[in-house]
Amino acid sequence: MFDIGMGELMLLAVVGLLVFGPERLPRAAADAARMLRNLKAMASTARKDLADASGVDLAETKETLKELQSYHPKRLVGDLFDDDDESPRASGSGAKPSANAPRFDPDAT
């Protein structure tokens, strides 16, 4: 979620130790964890209350958003250029052209 590595955690621990001291650091860490837990609970409650007040079904809304993702411009362009047939150009195998394909004639141009 926060993408914090081991080095950053060690740096935060050292800074916390310097700022709070060894006596108050465990209490400060516990208070911070409690505050984050309360904040997460309040956000979850607010989201639930908002959904209940608006009368919107969140599961249905999430499903609709997933369906709308298929209309993203990158996905649409990717689907346009996606070849289902196994042509030599698409497969990159360098296979010989079929008998119906015109031959290249350098003298023709």
Write the pLDDT tens digit of every residue in 43-67: 999 988 988 888 877 788 888 988 8
- The predicted model gives 16-28 an average pLDDT of 89
Give me the mean pLDDT over the 7-30 stretch: 89
pTM: 0.45
Q: How confident is the model at residue 105 (pLDDT cuts 50, 70, 90)?
A: confident
Residue 39's pLDDT band (cuts 50, 70, 90): very high
Q: How distant, in Å, are the alpha carbons of 9, 18, 19, 57 from that of 23?
A: 19, 11, 11, 49
Percent of the chain residues topping a pLDDT of 70: 79
DSSP output for 67-91 = HHGGG-HHHHHHHHH---S--HHHH
Q: How confident is the model at residue 90 (pLDDT cuts 50, 70, 90)?
A: very low
Q: What is the DSSP letter of 108?
A: G
* Dist. CA 30–CA 15, nearest whole Å: 16
The residue extents of the domains of the chain are 6-83
Asked whether the predicted pLDDT for residue 72 surpasses 70, the reply is yes
Which residue has tokens 């208070």? 31
Q: Does residue 99 surpass a pLDDT of 80?
A: no
Taking the CA atoms of 82, 87, 91 and 94 in sequence, report the sign of the dihedral they define. Answer: negative
Residues with Cβ < 8 Å from 103, sequence gap 6 or more? 97
Phi then psi for 88, rounded to 5 degrees? -60, -35
